[in-house]
Amino acid sequence: MKKIILMVLTLAFTAGCETVKPWERDILAQPGMQIEADPLDAQLASQVYDSKEASSGGNSPAGGGCGCN
């Protein structure tokens, strides 16, 4: 039982990890911080990937980066 309690407590604490506040996304929102720096290049890569896989979608989560919704 002690092990279970320890595990649950660990889970509870990891859920409390520090997150970036909406007003602190200044630098993170800059174009240079994007994983895909060039949208055209990303679109092309996605096109090639989709045609090779014969399926599309599921590449990224929905929603923007500014925490508006």
Partner 1 sequence: MTMTRFLYLLLLLPLLTFASEEPTGAAPTFTLNTLDGEPVSTDSLRGKVLYVDFWASWCGPCKVSFPDMHALQEEFGEEQFQVVAVSVDSNPEDARRFVRRFEPNFLVLSDPEGAIAERFNIPAMPTSFLIDQQGNIRHMHKGYKPGDIDKLKPLIAALTGEQ
Which residues contact partner 1 by CB under 8 A?
Answer: 1, 4-5, 8-9, 11-12, 15-16, 21-27, 29-30, 64, 66-69
Q: Which is nearer to partner 1, 8 or 37 (CB)?
A: 8
Residue owning tokens 């240079």: 32
- Write down the H helix ranges in 1-69: 2-14, 39-53
Q: Which is nearer to partner 1, 27 or 35 (CB)?
A: 27
- Taking the alpha carbons of 29, 30, 31, 33 in that order, is the dihedral positive or negative? negative
Q: What is the nearest approach in angstroms of partner 1 to the Cβ of residue 39?
A: 14
